[in-house]
Chain A
Amino acid sequence: AQSVTQLGSHVSVSEGALVLLRCNYSSSVPPYLFWYVQYPNQGLQLLLKYTSAATLVKGINGFEAEFKKSETSFHLTKPSAHMSDAAEYFCAHNGGFGNEKLTFGTGTRLTIIP
Chain B
Amino acid sequence: DTAVSQTPKYLVTQMGNDKSIKCEQNLGHDTMYWYKQDSKKFLKIMFSYNNKELIINETVPNRFSPKSPDKAHLNLHINSLELGDSAVYFCASSPSGGANTGELFFGEGSRLTVL
Q: Mark B28-72, 1 if CB is under 8 A from A, else 0.
A: 000100000000111111001010000110000000000000000
Check if B101 sits within 8 Å of A32, measured CB to CB: yes
CB distance from A41 to the nearest CB of B (A): 8
Q: How large is the interface on A (under 10, 10 to 19, 20 to 34, 35 or more residues)?
A: 20 to 34
> Which of the residues A41, A44, A99, A106 comes within 8 Å of B42, measured between beta carbons?
A106
* Known contacts A43-B4, A43-B109, A44-B90; is-contact A104 B43 (Cβ 8 Å): yes
Check if B106 sits within 8 Å of A101, measured CB to CB: no
A-B contact pairs, 14 of them (CB 8 A): A32-B102, A38-B41, A43-B107, A43-B108, A44-B43, A44-B92, A49-B101, A49-B102, A97-B100, A98-B100, A99-B102, A102-B102, A104-B43, A109-B41
Residues of B within 8 A of A (CB): 4, 31, 40-45, 48, 50, 55-56, 90, 92, 94, 96-98, 100-104, 106-109
